[in-house]
Amino acid sequence: MSELVSEWKRFLDGIEIPEDAGVMAQSRFSAPAIFGAVCPRRVASLKNDGYESYSDDNYYEAGRSFSRALAYDRSDPSLVMGLAYSKYYDGHYEAVKRTIAEADGLTEVDANMLGNLLANVTWQEGDSGRALGVFESLSGKPLPEDVKRELDIKVAAISVGGSTEEKIREFFSTRDRTRQTVILSETIGEDPGFGVAHYLLGRLLYNEAEYEDALPFLWNAYLYGLPSERLVSENMRILGIAMYAAGEYGRSAEIFDELYRRADETGVRDYAADFAERARWAERRVVNK
């Protein structure tokens, strides 16, 4: 047993840890226990109601639930986050500002998340220059990877300006998938070389498991190019998966081989190597049938 433990510890010591891992773990696991709140069962019920309403795009009811839960427990950052995002998608930008201004006890990641949302409000209100400054300043700070990609997209859109920026700004004002699809289709029609719009539309379809429909948009994003390496990497990842799901195993393996060659992070390289091997195995099975 002691030998197994020693080997396991050596294995753990050899794993490369992303730079932000410690801060992200602190944000995820340092929230105060719910039993420290007044009426913890009531808080849990209201939080659940808030998430359900938010998922159903009923932002008014979601905001009510999160606000009532905060009356019992001001120390839970997820309630602040839920209320702020509910107000944002309900179009009540002044309420977003008040919610963020009154928040306290936030971790660094939570504060950065709310800073991004506040900059979204600034952008929606028409101050692109000020919003751009915040988006750029946040891009190097601890944040979830999907938010970092979001920042890259917004910086690129503002840098392009004009109708393209206006449409991408509108895209980030809503969670309505139909409206987002229309916005991105119009953006591609007006600015077909803007790879970000192809990526976003391909990702919407990918998230709905409509892999064959997603493929041409993800492929166009690959060909036209994207504004950051993390966006390029993520686009290649989901492009390879979509190809695999559509039965294009050989092309999927080629994409993951390329992702392996260009990736710097060990985790991404391991993922790409594993998927390339899986795709070739699936291709051999098809050939041998």
Read off the pLDDT of residues 101-147 as tens digits, 9 standing for 90 and up.
998 888 899 999 999 999 999 999 999 999 999 999 998 899 999 99
The answer to whether residues 63 and 87 touch, using CB atoms and an 8 Å cutoff, is: yes
| pLDDT over 70 (residue 24) | no
The residue-averaged pLDDT of 178-188 equals 97
pLDDT at 36: 53
Q: What's the distance, CA 219 to chain centroid?
A: 20
| pLDDT over 90 (residue 54) | yes
The residue-averaged pLDDT of 176-193 equals 97
What pLDDT band is residue 23 in, cutting at 50, 70 and 90? low
pLDDT at 37: 54
| pLDDT over 70 (residue 275) | yes
Structure tokens at 162: 């004009």
pLDDT at 266: 86
| pLDDT over 60 (residue 21) | yes
| pLDDT over 80 (residue 203) | yes
- Ramachandran category for residue 129: left, alpha or beta (phi over 0 → left; psi -120 to 50 → alpha): alpha
| pLDDT over 90 (residue 27) | no
Q: Provide the CB-side half-sphere exposure for 47 (13 A, CA).
A: 19
Domains of the chain, CATH where assigned:
149-289 (1.25.40.10)
pLDDT at 239: 98
pLDDT at 26: 64
If one counts every other C-beta atom within 10 angstroms of the C-beta of residue 19, the result is 9
pLDDT at 55: 95
Rounded to 5 degrees, what angle do the CA atoms 132, 149, 90 make? 70
Distances in whole angstroms, Cα of residue 45 to Cα of each of 34, 60, 246? 11, 17, 41
Which amino acid, residue 252?
S
Enter the pTM of the model. Answer: 0.87
CA distance 154 to 160: 10
pLDDT at 38: 58
pLDDT (tens digit, 9 = 90+) per residue, 221-261? 999 999 999 999 999 999 999 999 999 999 999 999 999 99
Contacts 24+ apart (CB under 8 A), 228-233: 228/149, 228/152, 228/156, 230/145, 230/148, 230/149, 230/152, 231/149, 231/152, 231/153, 231/196, 231/199, 232/262, 233/259, 233/262, 233/263, 233/268
pLDDT at 29: 59
If one counts every other C-beta atom within 10 angstroms of the C-beta of residue 89, the result is 17
Mean pLDDT across the chain, nearest whole number? 92
